[in-house]
Amino acid sequence: MLNSLIANIEETVMKAKEKLASSVNSTMTETYWLIGRYIVESEQNGNIKATYGKRLLTTLSKELSLRLGKGYSRPNLNNMRKFYLTYPDCQVVSDKLSWSHICELIKIDDDLERSFYEKETVKERWGVRELQWQMDTSLYLRLAVSKDKEGILSLAKQGIEIQRPEDVIKNTYTLEFLNLPELDRYTEGDLEQRIIDNLQSFLLKLGKGFTFVGRQYKITVNNVQYHVDLVFYHRILKCFVLIELKKNSVKHEDIGQMNMYLGYFAIEENMQDDNAPIGIILSKNKDELLVEYATYGMDSNLFVAKYELYLPNRKDLERLVANILNNND
């Protein structure tokens, strides 16, 4: 009886604290937006030039810091100004994201890219560091280059939507966090071990919904043992995801072997409410024509993707995305 009473009171207090913290965050964010509006309106009314505008922020910072304390540095005032200019309606983010999140988002000039990170931050409850990491590794651009114009616009408007196996597969996986040499001085075993050692980062690269099941997952067929390099389970699609790692180009026998693994998991491992498993062969190189021939008539849940050991050039990705958007007008 007493324990139940204590638990109820504790839960009520914790919920009240969360609500209060959310309310404080929303109020402060709206306050910063209003400050930004006052600054912009002052600049416009006085027809202030850029150089004078900088002096205004410097003077304003000194005066506000004397009267109100910390939090009104010139960079922070500039962020408030930019916040107002970027988000004409502050309610879009004020009650969902912290001021630190907003300061990261307003660094992004492209409206579509900013909208994507905004939606994903809210849906996935990214902390500021995770948002920074996803921005630094150009998640939006890497996803966008594999889509058409309609897909890019949907990505920006809704974030990542997972409804089919194709929605969790990327054309290329960037594994820069493994710190493997670009030269051929590593083995498939090295690749697997580095992934296990950096499993959290690898799960982030795979995307939402993946949970780790095991490595070198043993299966037996006619007294012959086989080992699947990595096995995951996807919570949203409700299916196993099998990954085979190949240091060089994928061969037709690799595809046949993965198809056998998919059959085994579908028949022997799946529970009654599980969907058909997904197979991903992750290789350094990919011969599109060989893959097309080797997968002809096979299960559509078998995919061949590439991996790279370095981050792609952001400028190149931006040009590719711009071309997709412009060429589909």
First to last CA, the chain: 67
> Which parts of 146-229 fold into alpha helices (H)?
149-158, 188-197, 199-206
Is residue 122 pLDDT above 60, yes or no? Answer: yes
Phi-psi region of 71 (alpha: psi -120 to 50; beta: other; left: phi over 0): left
CB contact at 8 A, 242 and 269 = no
Grade residue 41 by pLDDT with cuts at 50, 70 and 90. confident
Number of alpha carbons in the 13 Å side-chain half-sphere of residue 271: 6
Lowest mean pLDDT among 34-38, 59-63, 178-182: 178-182
pLDDT value for 22: 64
pLDDT value of residue 6: 55
**Token digits for 297?**
């008539």
Cα gap 116→145, rounded to integer Å: 14
According to the model, what pLDDT value does residue 3 have?
Answer: 72
pLDDT digit string (tens) for 55-111? 788 888 888 888 888 888 999 999 999 999 999 888 888 778 999 999 999 999 999
Going by pLDDT thresholds of 50, 70 and 90, the confidence category of residue 15 is confident
pLDDT interval class at 7 (50, 70, 90): confident
Q: What is the mean pLDDT of the chain?
A: 87
Confidence of residue 121 (pLDDT cuts 50, 70, 90): very high
Q: What is the pLDDT of residue 187?
A: 87
**pTM for the whole structure:** 0.75
| CA–CA separation, 154 and 171 (whole Å) | 18
More confident residue, 182 or 244: 244
* Tokens standing for residue 182: 């670009």
Burial of residue 304, with CB atoms counted within 10 A of its CB: 0-12 exposed, 13-18 middle, 19 or more buried: buried
Instruction: Please tell me the distance from the alpha carbon of residue 177 to that of residue 20, in angstroms, as a whole number.
Output: 38
Look at residue 81 in the predicted model and tell me its pLDDT.
93
Q: Categorize the per-residue pLDDT at 54 as very low, low, confident or very high, splitting at 50, 70 and 90.
A: low
CA dist., res. 32 & res. 107, Å (int): 16
DSSP one-letter string for 90-104: THHHHTTS-HHHHHH
pLDDT for the residue numbered 261? 95
Checking if the pLDDT of 299 tops 80, the result is no
With bands split at pLDDT 50, 70 and 90, how would you rate the model's confidence at 235?
Answer: very high
Neighbours of 99 (CB within 10 A): 20
Q: In the sheet where 172-174 sits, what is the strand order?
A: 172-174, 302-308, 278-285, 239-249, 224-234, 210-221
Long-range Cβ contacts of 258-264 (<8 Å, 24+ apart): 258/302, 259/298, 259/299, 259/302, 260/221, 260/226, 261/219, 261/226, 261/228, 262/299, 262/301, 262/302, 264/219, 264/221
Rounded CA gap, 279 and 54, in Å? 56
